């Protein structure tokens, strides 16, 4: 494991892609470096939207210099068209990580909830509260997508710790 671990967590989508970056501090605690959403306009073509996601992810990687990426796996969609589009956007997200030589961890929503709250069926508000507490944040996370991305990054961080002690 690199001396300084910085994890870029991603909650995939194509209208909104949540992102969150965490880093281990001197005390060994994970701290938030930044979070937000990449939002694409429904007025643009799908190709323009996934291109925007790719470009904005590259900018985030340049800015925060993560040492790895963690991406949430797709879970369930009742709308097949949406599932396909999110799957394609997720492919662009994964490819962007690979192009930037980032190891990529993938986690199901159940794994993320279990890692953050200890309960795989936790509600969104429980997740958000735990993310804020664990990261020692002073601000409330207004975006569910950004909160989910930080949770995915934290799940990856905990996974690294588990791998290290094995």
Which listed residue (11, 32, 85, 148) is catalytic?
11
Could you give the CA distance from residue 30 to residue 69 in angstroms, rounded to a whole number? Answer: 15
Apex 143 CA angle, 159 and 148, nearest 5: 15
Which listed residue (32, 72, 85, 105) is catalytic?
72
Is 72 tagged catalytic? yes
Which residues, including other chains, have CB under 8 Å from residue 35's CB and lie 6 or more apart? 18, 19, 20, 21, 141, 143, 146, 147, 149, 150
Match 């993320």 to its residue by tokens.
Answer: 112
Give the helix/strand (H/E) hosting 72.
Answer: strand 68-72
Q: Which two tokens stand for residue 100?
A: 């930037």
Helix/strand/coil (H, E, C) string of 74-133?
CCCCCCHHHHHHHHHHHHHHHHHHHHCCCCEEEECHHHHHHHHHCCCCCCHHHHHHHHHH
Which listed residue (56, 85, 105, 145) is catalytic?
145
Active site (catalytic) residues: 11, 72, 145
């Amino acid at each position: 494991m690199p001396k300084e671990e910085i994890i870029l967590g991603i909650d995939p989508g194509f209208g909104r892609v949540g992102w969150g970056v965490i880093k281990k501090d001197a005390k060994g605690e994970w701290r938030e470096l930044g979070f937000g959403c990449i939002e694409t306009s429904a007025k643009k073509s799908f190709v323009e939207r996934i291109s925007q996601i790719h470009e904005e992810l590259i900018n985030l990687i340049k800015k925060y210099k993560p040492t790895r990426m963690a991406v949430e796996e797709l879970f369930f969609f009742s709308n097949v068209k949406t599932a396909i589009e999110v799957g394609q956007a997720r492919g662009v997200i994964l490819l962007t990580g690979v192009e930037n030589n980032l190891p990529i961890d993938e986690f199901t929503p159940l794994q993320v909830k279990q890692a953050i709250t200890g309960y795989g069926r936790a509600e969104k508000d429980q997740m958000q509260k735990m993310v804020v507490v664990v990261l020692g944040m002073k601000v409330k996370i207004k975006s569910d997508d950004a909160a989910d991305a930080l949770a995915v990054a934290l799940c990856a961080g905990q996974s690294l710790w588990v791998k290290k002690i094995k």
